A = this chain, B = another copy of it.
């Protein structure tokens, strides 16, 4: 299925960094969902470069919804959102023969597309497409919100600096969604931004970890085999450029625990079944248990750096050196948080509509 993901709610991504339009088609979203275009614009703004710590490419991110919405509400038929590339300056990025940028997809794209790929600015591999994904996901966030499901992502780690952990997921989500630089501890956030700037000045880049919480999900979502909540979510999350790891709950830290610690004790809380800890990230046996679904994505440092790098010319088959000119994002983790929210929201719309039917997300 490739550039399409999902079953009951499916989304299809298209476009290239320097093509005329990028876009997303979302199919299967329930009819009647209010389409708040300001909210979509606000979500796009969260993904846009912030302050001095981001790339010089300033994208207006104007979007047009060209199908699936009538009188301000979803119709239930495919919603297509287009985002034009108004600022594409092809010259900046034109590929010099076959020089592979390390950490990028230049070489693998060539292996797959035999030289017919659009090389300008990463082509179809460009982070530019995450704008469309963010816009589409904004619609999914609206749909979920109408059913009491909320979500948010923070930069739990950047350049080796840790944000504080989630305390009350519900309240922390609200906090995060009000912040352009998504940290719970603003002092830690300030230090992260300094570290990003320091890396930029050194011609280098930094990575980080995003942590997402989803609250208000019903228990019973997901499947025992293959379409586990963890499996379906991770499948989609690895499409966020630079994500190299996904863990749920305490994730890799559970490997060093004993069962007596990692087992989350159930208890009755005012008639509701809850767990005292949430090491399992709200998922048991692949299926939601009603606790917040919590997971983390490892985001590698931006591969575009200003340092000299050894590499090859894959057309000529020779060793060479590369120094990437121009300004580039010294980090993407702070921008990727909006994308993580969007991907998560789209996936849960799919899981919910698959489990409870198409109309479940109707307001």
Given contacts A2-B225, A234-B231, A236-B231, A16 and B252 within 8 Å (CB-CB): no
Return chain B residues, CB-CB under 8 Å to A64.
Answer: 20
Q: Interface segment, A41-49, A115-123, A134-142, A170-178?
A: A115-123
Please give the distance in Å from A206's CB to the nearest CB on chain B: 6
Given contacts A125-B224, A259-B205, A286-B105, A76 and B239 within 8 Å (CB-CB): no
Contact with B along A301-326 (1 / 0, CB 8 A): 11111010111101001110000000
Q: How many residues of A contact B (CB 8 A)?
A: 156
A100, B209: Cα distance in complex, Å? 33
Given contacts A77-B224, A224-B124, A226-B236, A280 and B28 within 8 Å (CB-CB): no
Return chain B residues, CB-CB under 8 Å to A256.
Answer: 157, 159-160, 207
Interface contact B15-A3, CB-CB below 8 Å: no
Return chain B residues, CB-CB under 8 Å to A15.
Answer: 66-67, 78, 80
Please give the distance in Å from A2's CB to the nearest CB on chain B: 5
Return chain B residues, CB-CB under 8 Å to A157.
Answer: 255-256
Interface residues of A in 78-133 (CB under 8 A from B): 78-80, 82, 100, 102-105, 107-109, 111-114, 116-118, 123-125, 129
Interface contact B102-A226, CB-CB below 8 Å: no
Contact with B along A166-206 (1 / 0, CB 8 A): 00000000000000000000000000000000010010111
Interface residues of A in 214-245 (CB under 8 A from B): 218-228, 230-232, 234-239, 241, 243-245
Interface residues of A in 261-291 (CB under 8 A from B): 261-268, 271, 273, 275-276, 279-281, 283-290
Interface contact A118-B309, CB-CB below 8 Å: no
Q: Which residue of B lies closest to A117 (CB)?
A: B75
A109, B75: Cα distance in complex, Å? 10
Q: At the interface, yes or no: A37 with Cβ under 8 Å from chain B?
A: no
Interface contact B75-A225, CB-CB below 8 Å: no
Return chain B residues, CB-CB under 8 Å to A159.
Answer: 256
Interface contact B310-A23, CB-CB below 8 Å: no
Return chain B residues, CB-CB under 8 Å to A244.
Answer: 230, 247-252, 254, 280-281
Q: At the interface, yes or no: A300 with Cβ under 8 Å from chain B?
A: yes
Interface contact B310-A265, CB-CB below 8 Å: yes
Question: Which of B12, B125, B243, B288 sits near A27, CB closer than 8 Å?
Answer: B12
Q: At the interface, yes or no: A357 with Cβ under 8 Å from chain B?
A: yes
15 contacts between A and B (CB under 8 A): A1-B10, A4-B10, A4-B12, A8-B8, A16-B68, A67-B124, A82-B82, A105-B224, A108-B286, A125-B224, A157-B256, A225-B239, A228-B239, A245-B251, A356-B359
